[in-house]
Structure 1
Amino acid sequence: MAIADRGSHRSHNSDGKLWRLCPFWQSGTASSSTSSTQNLQTNNSQHSSQQNGGVGSNSRSSPNTVSSVARSFLPARRRLRLDPANNLYFPYEPGKQARSAVRIKNSGKSHVAFKFQTTAPKSCYMRPPGGILAPGESIIATVFKFVEHPENNEKPTEQKSKVKFKIMSLKVKEGTDYVPELFDEQKDHVTVERVLRVIFLDPERQTPALEKLKRQLADADAAIEARKKPPADTGLRVVGEGLVIDEWKERREKYLARQQVEAVDSV
């Protein structure tokens, strides 16, 4: 037993001396075991990712994908507010050119260009056909349409029309001049606001829709007449280029004349 104890003690001491003489063996063994463990974990994670078909990587990008798909299904934000919102009302007068009106208001915070389109450009036209509205600005557009004679003696309320009007909008910068080509150059940013249907009204029957149409047409005519009037007189008279006679100049001339009289009297 003593011999065995001595042998074990010697082997233990020899192992300790060996580790102390060659410490890099221990560190090398530990590092190699650590690196092998890390490689094993990496391989396992890669293998599991491959088995799952890359679900882990797709899960991080899935919220963006879902949000983009959801945005594609959402309706476009309206820039214009129309009144009436869905129809254009015309008095039913066969063989005559009837008028309708729609109020267009920019309900956003940016300048917006608008444009009309119709399925019957030969028999319909609008004034103005397009323009640019500042934030909060509104305009009454007048629509003209030739009313054809009915078929089979249909009543005015039964008279139907396939003509439709489309109103489009485009966000523009302040100071932009309106040209119809804006909607072709930036067609990816154009929004279809509304598609308006044609509804005929009996001119001899007083209805809220007919009364409202008359008021809007009167407002449109008043706005056209206001634009035709010359600008209001501001009290300035332009006599020549760069020469403006006003009250201040007359006062100055009187003051200079008085100074000259006083100078003569003093001499």
Structure 2
Amino acid sequence: MEVVDERSPSDGKVWGLFKLPFINSGNTHSTSSSSSSHNTNRNQQQHSQINPQVEGSNPHNNSSSVSSVARSLLPTRRRLRLDPSNKLYFPYEPGKQVRSAIRIKNTSKSHVAFKFQTTQPKSCFMRPPGGILTPGESLIATVFKFVEQPENNEKPVDQKSKAKFKIMSLKVQGVMDYVPELFDEQKDQVAVEQILRVVFLDVERPSPALEKLKRQLAEAESALEARKKPPEETGPKIIGEGLVIDEWKERRERYLARQQVEGVDLV
């Protein structure tokens, strides 16, 4: 390709094929200033159209509403650790009430109340249905469910349940008595920990999930029996109408009786 050179008649310099964008260098600054001023005015008009200022409005309230929306979009921090994490395993026994178990542990640094909910309250219930856990405390909750008879001769592995369970948590101030109304009084502070779906296990086919379920159910029963036992008495024994038996006095009386039997004359 042949390159055509253009030479100036005055100085003989080579300009090449491309011309300068602005021929008059003296108007460059004024053109740039007018363009910048035009862009600034246009940006201000667009900003006023997008964010119109209402007379008497409070910018602090606007920032607060934006902050609340931003917080709502953030993921909820978990207060509880569940085992199993997202399922409830039940032995498949049609026509019977079966049990499942789930361990709930408070992993936060504060006291946490938890509460169960189910989509089928007539055929399912939990023990306990709720409670308050201290930091680091855990328990095993037992879930009861009535298993419907299968339709169309479905196999246990194909049988599905529409029941779902939801575990909610609420941060509370220190040790207090659990009442379900806590979750109604502080709705804004309630967090949904997990929604659990039902999984049936074939009782005739051993599996790790079935063995784990049996261990958790046995542990839950042991904990329940321990709670039923009366607390051990650590103080002095009290019999009759408030008579306190002093161990030293009892030993002295036995010693005196033995001396009398042996014929020793005591002063």
Same fold (TM over 0.5): yes
Alpha-carbon shift at residue 79 of structure 1 (Å): 0.6
CA distance in 1, matches of 2:151, 2:95: 13
CA distance in 2, matches of 1:180, 1:241: 42
Q: Which amino acid aligns with 2:99?
A: R
- Larger mean CA deviation between 145-154 and 62-71 belongs to 62-71
Structure 1 counterpart of 2:94: 94
Listed as ranges, the matches of 1:55-134 within 5 Å are: 68-134=68-134
Structure 1 counterpart of 2:38: none
Gaps of 5+ in 1: 1-46, 254-264
Alpha-carbon shift at residue 248 of structure 1 (Å): 7.5
- Give CA-to-partner distance per residue, 1:187-207, whole Å, 9 cap, x none: 111111110000000001111
Asked if 2 retains the 8 angstrom alpha-carbon contact of 1:235 and 1:246, the reply is no
Do the aligned partners of residues 243 and 71 (structure 1) sit closer, same or farther apart at CA in structure 2, a change above 3 Å counting?
farther
Task: Report the count of equivalent residues.
Answer: 207
CA distance in 2, matches of 1:76, 1:131: 21
Identity %: 74
Structure 1 counterpart of 2:150: 150
Say which SS state the counterpart of residue 152 (structure 2) adopts. Answer: coil
Asked if 2 retains the 8 angstrom alpha-carbon contact of 1:164 and 1:195, the reply is yes
Alpha-carbon shift at residue 102 of structure 1 (Å): 0.3
Do the aligned partners of residues 250 and 118 (structure 1) sit closer, same or farther apart at CA in structure 2, a change above 3 Å counting?
same
Say which SS state the counterpart of residue 215 (structure 2) adopts. Answer: helix
Q: Which has the larger radius of gyration?
A: 1
Q: Which amino acid aligns with 2:89?
A: Y
Structure 1 counterpart of 2:20: none
Alpha-carbon shift at residue 70 of structure 1 (Å): 3.8
Do the aligned partners of residues 225 and 243 (structure 1) sit closer, same or farther apart at CA in structure 2, a change above 3 Å counting?
same
Alpha-carbon shift at residue 67 of structure 1 (Å): 5.8
Structure 1 counterpart of 2:37: none
Gaps of 5+ in 2: 1-40, 53-59, 254-266
CA distance in 1, matches of 2:188, 2:222: 37
Structure 2 counterpart of 1:186: 186
Structure 1 counterpart of 2:197: 197
Do the aligned partners of residues 248 and 180 (structure 1) sit closer, same or farther apart at CA in structure 2, a change above 3 Å counting?
farther
Structure 1 counterpart of 2:228: 228
Do the aligned partners of residues 244 and 180 (structure 1) sit closer, same or farther apart at CA in structure 2, a change above 3 Å counting?
farther
Alpha-carbon shift at residue 249 of structure 1 (Å): 8.1
Do the aligned partners of residues 207 and 233 (structure 1) sit closer, same or farther apart at CA in structure 2, a change above 3 Å counting?
same
Judging by fraction of residues, say which structure has more helix.
1
- Give CA-to-partner distance per residue, 1:103-155, whole Å, 9 cap, x none: 00000010011110000000000100011000000010000000000001111
Say which SS state the counterpart of residue 225 (structure 1) adopts. Answer: helix
- Give CA-to-partner distance per residue, 1:61-104, whole Å, 9 cap, x none: 99988765443211111111100010000000000000000000
Say which SS state the counterpart of residue 95 (structure 1) adopts. Answer: coil
Q: Which amino acid aligns with 1:238?
A: I
Asked if 2 retains the 8 angstrom alpha-carbon contact of 1:89 and 1:199, the reply is yes
Say which SS state the counterpart of residue 102 (structure 2) adopts. Answer: strand
